[in-house]
Chains A and B, each alone.
Chain A
Amino acid sequence: MKPSHFNSCIYVQSETRNYSKIDSGSARTFKGDAPEDFVTCSCHFKITILLDPRRINHTESSTMTLFHFGNCFSLAYFPYFITYKCSGLSEYNAFWRCVQAGATYLFVQLCKMLFLATFFPTWEGAAGVYDFVGEFMKATVDLADLLGLHLVMSRNAGKGEYKIMVAAMGWATAELIMSRCIPLWVGARGIEFDWKYIQMSFDSNISLVHYIAMAAVVWMFTRYDLPKSFRLPVTILLGLCVYKGFLMELFVHVFLLGSWTALLVKAVLTGAISLCSLFLFVTLVHSN
């Protein structure tokens, strides 16, 4: 019998069809003339698994789907955690300020939804034809995001970097919890495997960078000492930030991109925007 061990209570099916309950204990290594190799890794789950995937039965596969959820969740959440720690925000006790920024995010989303529902009823247009004008108008409503970020930053006193980071972290974490945790919880835990959950987690990483860049651009836009030559690039970047979603949908629709290609294009676009904004930010801050 080749056992598999888990920290939680899982039933293992043996060859004689007896079910034995494995309690949480130390991982046993199976000695003897077993032809397969064992992989033992100490992580939260303390799993001992055979390399032969045919031996895994249904009970184990249900824990595997929880493992998959763990994978996606850590992929989504860890960059936020790392950014929070490494940007030095924890030294400034910025936790509650980030929570306030998150609350502002919720409020702004609510207002946007109400506005969209009131003024943009579902079009009776032909199905399949991508409604460019309608989607463009809807994307314009995302200008409220900029207002929200400005509101958050204006209420926080401190250096420019501090304000930007607090606003961006709170905003992006609120978006992570609201729009990604629930689909991951419901979908990634199921038996059915789909690549879209990994893509969703990558997308949350890209969103983090995007919101940091957006906050920086908003901050720069509202500076009173912004040089004239910077006005135009900052405005262009601002416009790109707001309409990035619309541009992405346009690309996907026109070029019929696959899901991984679209993700790549989105990452490249966000990277370009953030590099430009970082460049402008550095120039602005250190030109004095």
Chain B
Amino acid sequence: MFEEASEVLENMLKWSFPLSLVLFLVLVCPLRAEAAHEFSVYRMQQYDLQGQTYGSRNAILNTEARTVEAEVLSRRCVMMRLADFSYEKYQKALQQSAGAVVIILPQNMSTMPQDIVQQFMELEPELVATETIVPVYFALEDEELLSIYTQTQISSSSQGSSSAAEVLLHTATANGFQMVTSGAQSKAVSDWAITSLEGRLSGAGGEDLPTIVLVAHYDSFGVAPWLSYGADSNGSGVAILLELARLFSRLYSYKRTHAGYNLLFFLSGGGKFNYQGTKRWLEDNLDHTDSSLLQDNVAFVLCLDTLGNSDNLYLHVSKPPKEGSPQHVLLKELETVVAHQHPDLKFSMVHKKINLADDTLAWEHERFGIRRLPAFTLSHLESHRSPARHSIMDMRPHVDLTKLRRNTKVIAETLARVIYNLTEKVIAIPPKHTQVQEDQLASLVDWLTAQPRAAQLLDKDSSIVNTLEYYLNHYLKDVKRHLVRADKRDPEFVFYDQLKQTMNAYRVKPAIFDLLLAFCIAAYLGVLYLAIQNFGLLYSFLRRVTAPRVKQH
């Protein structure tokens, strides 16, 4: 009885086991295997500013890789290298409703020729302005990514023009790649707080002293938030502001050099998003508090924006200063200092009226100008539309330390002459301070450019904000944080998440390959079956071979 049962079981298992296993497998979804290559990708900007949407709207992708030379780009991940990048190719990919675009940047940007860098810098605002549902990612190139790119390029460019035999051979040997990101769909970040920091140095002697405000925005902007280091714009401005804070706090600590001006230092956040930090700070100080330094006697507001390079210096104003006003004094002192101490520097004033019909304001001083506070912006850029202000190419090599130091000296000298009311041709700041200045500036710029400072990445607990606050606390008094949150019903700015992802590139073979393999395996198994069936032939052959030897014994 047991033997019959075992026989039945044996038959059942023998026949149904492979079949049931296969059917079971079909219904189970596949696991993720190890990828050929895993790398970090950084998404293009996605934000809403004053109701208008910018940038790439989508984050997830799970598509096959192709390069631009391929004919069919729809629902494929188009990979482009920076060296071959052009706006037409990008448009072509978008028009064919590609699944995604991945732009590969070199690890070391300085290896790229300048004209390609310049061309990309000019294209960046257009890329961001084109709102698209195609996810656009940037990746830094390494060897494996480069090999994936070259393999994809070879297979993409050979797709159109080969015979059937070549296609078959190609499928057996070549690799396709499936690009998959692991994150979720991007969604708006709720309740993001943009932090700004202020600190002051009070002047000597009584009430009603005039106030000078020094402003610099500390965030950066580029086509990909995680790649925006903003060295020159506005890392240089922040470095100069912190240096001035240190310098004047030293001068104000001695009774002899304690001047009769209040100095208010303001590090604003959200500067690249239409100066949100400054806007809200002004509203709070002028509308909602009873007494504030900004409401009383403000001599002028000096905004520092992009001062790390070049031999030009521009003072941007929204209306030319009147004779006899403190603003005019500043202008004159600036001209004097430049003319006498730094003749290599070319200084001029640029007058641009505030245009409220524009989407965004040009310079930071315009925020103050709207609230009737006299303000200027000092920059080495002539136009606010310059691509250097919004580029991911703006990295540490863009800041020239000697020029930064020279600009710091100019500004420090000018301010000193204004607040101490100097008229002679005297150097206000003695040279023994300058060596420390250079080291300080170098370390500040190095620290600022070591990590990306896009506004979407710096929340109120980020290390950059904390370090800035600590630094200001060291030299200034009454250091306060100021938070800006977007209005719930009509938000001025909306940020989105999923800005940094891990992308996996899986090696895949086309479906025809599996069929080919199945045919080959079936042929092999058939040959094996025949061989085993005819094993007896080999056996009898060996027997015949050994038999005569036995007979000889």
Bound Cα distance A60, B10 (Å)? 35
Stretch at the interface among A27-35, A75-83, A115-123: A75-83
Minimal beta-carbon separation of B67 from chain A (angstroms): 14
The answer to whether residues A67 and B508 also contact, given A75-B525, A78-B525, A187-B33 and a CB cut-off of 8 A, is no
Interface residues of B in 524-540 (CB under 8 A from A): 524-525, 528-529, 532-533, 535, 538-539
The answer to whether residues A53 and B510 also contact, given A71-B517, A191-B33 and a CB cut-off of 8 A, is yes
The answer to whether residues A54 and B159 also contact, given A67-B518, A70-B25 and a CB cut-off of 8 A, is yes
Closest to B25 in A: A66
Residues on B with C-beta less than 8 A from A39 are: 515
Minimal beta-carbon separation of B355 from chain A (angstroms): 44
* Interface membership of chain A positions 52-66, coded 1 if the CB is closer than 8 angstroms to chain B and 0 otherwise: 011011101111111
Are A93 and B510 closer than 8 Å at their CB atoms? no
B509: CB under 8 A from chain A? yes
Are B525 and A189 closer than 8 Å at their CB atoms? no
A192: CB under 8 A from chain B? yes
Number of interface residues of B (CB under 8 A): 57
B426: CB under 8 A from chain A? no
Bound Cα distance A70, B30 (Å)? 13
Are A69 and B36 closer than 8 Å at their CB atoms? no
Interface residues of B in 314-335 (CB under 8 A from A): none
Bound Cα distance A95, B6 (Å)? 9
The answer to whether residues A286 and B514 also contact, given A189-B31, A192-B35 and a CB cut-off of 8 A, is no
B72: CB under 8 A from chain A? yes
Are A66 and B26 closer than 8 Å at their CB atoms? yes
* Interface membership of chain A positions 85-126, coded 1 if the CB is closer than 8 angstroms to chain B and 0 otherwise: 011000001011000000000000000000000000000000
Bound Cα distance A61, B511 (Å)? 7
* Interface membership of chain B positions 60-85, coded 1 if the CB is closer than 8 angstroms to chain A and 0 otherwise: 00110000000010010000000000
The answer to whether residues A189 and B30 also contact, given A71-B518, A75-B521 and a CB cut-off of 8 A, is yes
Minimal beta-carbon separation of A161 from chain B (angstroms): 10
A194: CB under 8 A from chain B? yes
Secondary structure at the A interface, as helix, strand, loop or mixed, is helix
Most buried by B among A39, A51, A64: A64
Minimal beta-carbon separation of A78 from chain B (angstroms): 5
Residues on B with C-beta less than 8 A from A86 are: 529, 532-533, 535
Residues on A with C-beta less than 8 A from B529 are: 82, 86
Residues on A with C-beta less than 8 A from B549 are: 283
B311: CB under 8 A from chain A? no
Residues on B with C-beta less than 8 A from A286 are: 543, 546-547, 550
Residues on B with C-beta less than 8 A from A279 are: 542, 546
A216: CB under 8 A from chain B? no
Are A191 and B178 closer than 8 Å at their CB atoms? yes
Name the contact of A49 in the complex, choosing from B31, B515, B535, B547 (C-beta under 8 A).
Answer: B515
Are B30 and A79 closer than 8 Å at their CB atoms? no
Name the contact of B171 in the complex, choosing from A53, A61, A73 (C-beta under 8 A).
Answer: A53
A245: CB under 8 A from chain B? no
Minimal beta-carbon separation of A183 from chain B (angstroms): 11
Residues on A with C-beta less than 8 A from B517 are: 68, 71, 198
A259: CB under 8 A from chain B? no
Bound Cα distance A187, B144 (Å)? 22
Are B36 and A192 closer than 8 Å at their CB atoms? yes
Bound Cα distance A145, B14 (Å)? 27
B356: CB under 8 A from chain A? no
Are A193 and B508 closer than 8 Å at their CB atoms? yes
Minimal beta-carbon separation of A212 from chain B (angstroms): 11
Closest to A86 in B: B532
B3: CB under 8 A from chain A? yes
Bound Cα distance A44, B24 (Å)? 13
The answer to whether residues A68 and B514 also contact, given A74-B525, A191-B33 and a CB cut-off of 8 A, is yes
Name the contact of B22 in the complex, choosing from A44, A53, A58, A79 (C-beta under 8 A).
Answer: A44
Are A54 and B72 closer than 8 Å at their CB atoms? yes
Bound Cα distance A7, B25 (Å)? 13
Bound Cα distance A8, B539 (Å)? 46
Are B511 and A49 closer than 8 Å at their CB atoms? yes
Are B30 and A65 closer than 8 Å at their CB atoms? yes
Bound Cα distance A287, B549 (Å)? 9
Bound Cα distance A60, B511 (Å)? 8
Residues on A with C-beta less than 8 A from B510 are: 53, 56
Residues on B with C-beta less than 8 A from A64 are: 511, 514
* Interface membership of chain A positions 265-284, coded 1 if the CB is closer than 8 angstroms to chain B and 0 otherwise: 00000000000001100110
Minimal beta-carbon separation of A279 from chain B (angstroms): 6
B29: CB under 8 A from chain A? yes
Interface residues of A in 161-180 (CB under 8 A from B): none
Residues on A with C-beta less than 8 A from B7 are: 93
Are A69 and B550 closer than 8 Å at their CB atoms? no
B113: CB under 8 A from chain A? no
Minimal beta-carbon separation of B551 from chain A (angstroms): 10
B506: CB under 8 A from chain A? yes
Residues on B with C-beta less than 8 A from A51 are: 164, 512
Bound Cα distance A62, B30 (Å)? 7
B27: CB under 8 A from chain A? yes
Bound Cα distance A287, B542 (Å)? 12
Residues on A with C-beta less than 8 A from B29 are: 62
Minimal beta-carbon separation of A61 from chain B (angstroms): 6
Closest to B168 in A: A51
Bound Cα distance A44, B18 (Å)? 11
Residues on A with C-beta less than 8 A from B550 are: 283, 286-287
A186: CB under 8 A from chain B? yes
Minimal beta-carbon separation of B60 from chain A (angstroms): 12
Residues on A with C-beta less than 8 A from B488 are: none
B485: CB under 8 A from chain A? no
B507: CB under 8 A from chain A? yes
B34: CB under 8 A from chain A? yes
A3: CB under 8 A from chain B? no
Are A93 and B507 closer than 8 Å at their CB atoms? no
Closest to B178 in A: A191
Minimal beta-carbon separation of A198 from chain B (angstroms): 7
Residues on A with C-beta less than 8 A from B19 are: 44
Residues on B with C-beta less than 8 A from A44 are: 19, 22
B32: CB under 8 A from chain A? yes
Residues on A with C-beta less than 8 A from B31 are: 186, 189-190
The answer to whether residues A191 and B508 also contact, given A68-B517, A95-B6 and a CB cut-off of 8 A, is yes
Residues on B with C-beta less than 8 A from A192 are: 33-36, 506-508
Which 9 A-B pairs have CB atoms at the shortest separation, nearest pair first? Answer: A190-B33, A53-B510, A192-B33, A95-B10, A191-B506, A282-B542, A283-B546, A192-B506, A56-B511
Given contacts A82-B529, A190-B31, A191-B508, list 8 more A-B pairs with CB under 8 A.
Answer: A7-B26, A39-B515, A58-B62, A61-B178, A79-B528, A189-B25, A193-B507, A205-B528
Interface CB pairs A-B, < 8 A, 28: A39-B515, A45-B26, A49-B511, A51-B512, A61-B178, A61-B508, A61-B511, A62-B30, A64-B511, A67-B518, A70-B22, A79-B525, A82-B529, A82-B532, A87-B532, A95-B10, A95-B14, A189-B33, A190-B31, A190-B34, A190-B506, A192-B34, A192-B36, A192-B507, A193-B509, A205-B528, A279-B546, A286-B550
Q: Which B positions have Cβ atoms within 8 angstroms of A?
A: 3, 6-7, 10, 14, 18-19, 21-22, 25-27, 29-36, 62-63, 72, 75, 159, 164, 171, 175, 178, 180, 506-512, 514-515, 517-518, 521, 524-525, 528-529, 532-533, 535, 538-539, 542-543, 546-547, 549-550
